[in-house]
Amino acid sequence: MHAADRHLRDVAEEARAALVDEIVASGAFAADPAWREAFAAVPRHLFVPSYYVGVLGGYERRWGEHPDPAARERWLRGAYADAPLATRLRDGELLSSSSQPSLMALMLAALRPADGDRVLEIGAGSGYNAALLSYRLGEENVVTIDLDPDITESARRHLDAAGYHPAVVTGDGARGVPEHAPYDRIIATCALPVIPRAWLTQCRPGGRIVTPFATGVAALDVRDSGHAEGRFLDTPAYFVPLRGTPRPTAQPPQLAGLPRRARESELFRFLLALTRGSLDPEEACALWEREGMPTRERYGVTVGGEREWAWLDDPEGPYVWPLPEAS
């Protein structure tokens, strides 16, 4: 092994250990410390052979085959930053990314898997999350799906390079993967406007779904094929929308006339995103202030029968908001 290769290997090991320490310090492993071993074992840099970082005026590409050793080291250290990495762009639009590792750890811990559980991941991305799941649960228990064949092909290559071989499927994640069902857990790494009914029918009763929703992450317990309910984690989360789902077309609400604390509050913007026009900004502001500027954990989502709704504190309480009709 050349001296430069040995140096990069040492940098990777050092950077991975530092990332694990940073996630530990964030508290993301607190709910399920077993995930620490997975993050320590799976080499993230194999899943992001190239990525983009924002610079003034656009993006700068970093890649592991750069001819300059200093640039290769910047790529490698960046691969182990506790930050999301843009991995695929098209005409300036972000198509795929590797999520922030500490947020991934929070979502995986919220999944609460048991040994032997079968997991469906919606949104293959770089393949890194599927590798973490494969390490923890066994590759034979992991299925990951993405609509874009280029993304699934690259995820498959990355997983193979790291020594993991879960099922990687090209298809519409909103429809799940019925041929591999049933699942004990479903985790999404992309945002959807509703909870697809297909996920409930493919998840065993007593299972759990963890998914980005609005600008947060909802953790839902599945009662049966028509019912699921749960609250949000306490963290903000911004994910690429699931490919193939409608993109929002409405203009962002005008907040200029609201108090400054509301205009600048990420929690108030979460309420607006969750209610999606059921409340105008003035109504939302009055409710938000009246209820003591509620944090995310006080909100939840219910799928019941033919409808879905979001709520504050109580799914049958006074503050409930219908969600768009699901398919």
First to last CA, the chain: 55
Distance CA 207, CA 110 (A): 12
The residues pairing with 167 across neighbouring beta strands, listed in sequence order, are 143
| Cα dihedral sign, 79-82-88-89 | negative
Residue that the structure tokens 């690429």 belong to? 240
- Under a CB-based contact definition with an 8 Å cutoff, are residues 50 and 63 in contact? yes
Question: Which of 26, 50, 96, 225 is flagged as catalytic?
Answer: 96
Handedness of CA 226, 232, 235, 241 (dihedral sign): positive
Length of the chain: 327
Give DSSP secondary structure letters for 177-192.
Answer: -GGG--EEEEEESSB-
For residue 126, indicate whether it is catalytic. Answer: no
- Could you list the active site residues? 96
